[in-house]
Amino acid sequence: MQERQVDVAIIGSGTAGLNAMAQVRRAGKSFVLINGGDPGTTCARVGCMPSKAMIQVAEDYHRRTHLGKYGIDGHEAMTLDVPEALEHVQELRDTFVDRVLGSSTDDMPPDLFIQDYARILEPTLVEVAGQRIRAGALVIATGSRPLVPEPWRRLGDRLLTTDDIFELEDLPASMAVIGLGTIGLELGQSLSRLGVAVTGFDQMETIAGAQDPEVTRCAIEIIGGELPIHLGHQAEITEEPDGRLRVSAGDHSVVVDKVLCSIGRAPNIEGLGLESLGVPLDARGLPAVDRHSMQVGDLPVFMAGDVTGFRPILHEAGYEGKIAGYNAAHGEGARFRRPTALFINFCDPNICTVGRRWSELDQDTTAVGQIKFAPVGRALIMGKNKGVLRVYGDQATGRLLGAEMIGPKGENLAHLLCWCIEQDLTVGQLLRMPFYHPVIEEALQAALYDLYAKVEAKNTGGLTELERLPE
């Protein structure tokens, strides 16, 4: 069998793999990019981009329910052409995929971009498409796929995942969404707003991964007021005589046309040969990976992106790909600081988490500031004054530690908070930032005032908002 040599072999051409390739190219090293399955990133094909397109259609259509209070007549007669809306989502999805491919792999010769499934024979030896590739280092960025319990697979096209929901030409009359994490909640709410009778289920007592007890309570109340959700019990699916599906959890049961399974994702490692690395594998079949170097043990092998299961989000996959690519290209195991954690659920209102999670806080040394969106002027004008924002600070130093929220324009507030935490700012420093009026950011200002009253570190110069100039 033909064997060739390269400096770096990259398995997977998603976000992590493409970022790794960019680092290898920058270092001037030879490489080969290998991809089995559909080309294009998970985000562009079946993840954040098509889901946001569907969310936008659903949110715009749902907005008609608010128009009457503004004196806008005729909104009751508005209708939705569902097949046309789905076609729009698919066209946008195809555009995003084409952009990824066009800017990365379309012009690559076949000896650099091999579209086939690879198998690892040794830590630096890969077999693919009838040839063997000996690499100085290996980057594994094979991504993940929707997790579906084996008994549910027999349900055929009545069971949907994110791999096929964006291929639908029409929507069913009713659907159960099992798993109310990020994707399940986003799509569940959107489908409901597009006219599907949606019922949500999750075995956890929370939704969208929220941990803060006040945010969790508020989120369940708001989302549960729009569509029925049942929490705390594992869902089971049985078939009805008419071919429909009964989903049961605890004391709740509903009969639906289709089920969206969004209970998690599994790493794409089947047939990859990770056992050939010669290191222990966990219950998922994965080796231990250093999250700051992306290195597997002391091997010249690096893993990045969703396959690691660390933070399955596009920007995190990008960071990991850059780290893995840099180390693979330079023959190092350099460890890099990971940026502040940022999670955004694009349901309406947004549910966001920044910095330290509630479970990571020392409750004895942490102060919490809070503001409800109900009285916030800008939110009231928008007709979106629902939710709560909670900010966490170190009680002694006033340093901002994290935040969790459900509220309007949460995606923007979360970024502001993330950047502030990244800069190690205190609540006092934040309150000396300018806040315009009237804007949603005034909610953040109010939460910071509440937090400032509970921390020991105070600004010098008297007034909270002003800094006295030196004499």
* Chain mean position to CA 1: 42
Q: What is the DSSP string of 72-132?
A: -TTGGG----HHHHHHHHHHHHHHHHHHHHHTTTTT--TTTEE-S--EEEETTEEEETTEE
**How far apart, in whole angstroms, are the C-alpha atoms of residue 181 and residue 188?**
10
| Amino acid at position 153, single letter | R
For residue 369, give both structure tokens.
């500031």
In the chain the domains, ranked by start, together with CATH numbers, are 2-39+105-146+266-330 (3.50.50.60), 150-263 (3.50.50.60), 342-452 (3.30.390.30)
CA distance 293 to 447: 37
> 46, 304, 88: which is closest to 183 by C-alpha?
46
> Can you read off the two tokens belonging to residue 248?
């049961």
With b for 16 or more beta-carbon neighbours within 10 A and e for fewer, the 254-291 pattern comes to: bebbbbbbbbebbbbbeebebeebeeeeeeeebbebee
Helix (H, G, I), strand (E, B) or coil at 335: coil
pTM: 0.94
Q: Could you list the mean pLDDT of each consecutive 10-residue stretch along the chain, which spans 471 residues?
A: 92 96 98 89 84 96 92 92 97 88 80 96 96 98 96 96 95 98 96 98 97 98 98 97 97 98 96 97 97 98 96 94 98 96 97 98 98 97 96 98 98 98 97 96 98 95 83 80
Quote the CA–CA distance of 191 and 62 in Å, as a whole number.
Answer: 11
Residues 264-278: pLDDT tens digits?
A: 999 999 999 999 999
Q: What contacts 367, CB < 8 A, 6 or more positions away?
A: 392, 393, 394, 395, 451, 454, 455
Tokens 């396959």 -> residue: 307
Q: Can you state the angle between helices 48-62 and 182-193, rounded to 10 degrees?
A: 40
Q: What is the pLDDT of residue 41?
A: 81
The predicted structure's pLDDT at residue 48: 87
pLDDT of residue 101: 76
Condensed to tens digits (0 to 9), the pLDDT of residues 76-104 reads 899 999 999 999 999 999 898 888 877 77
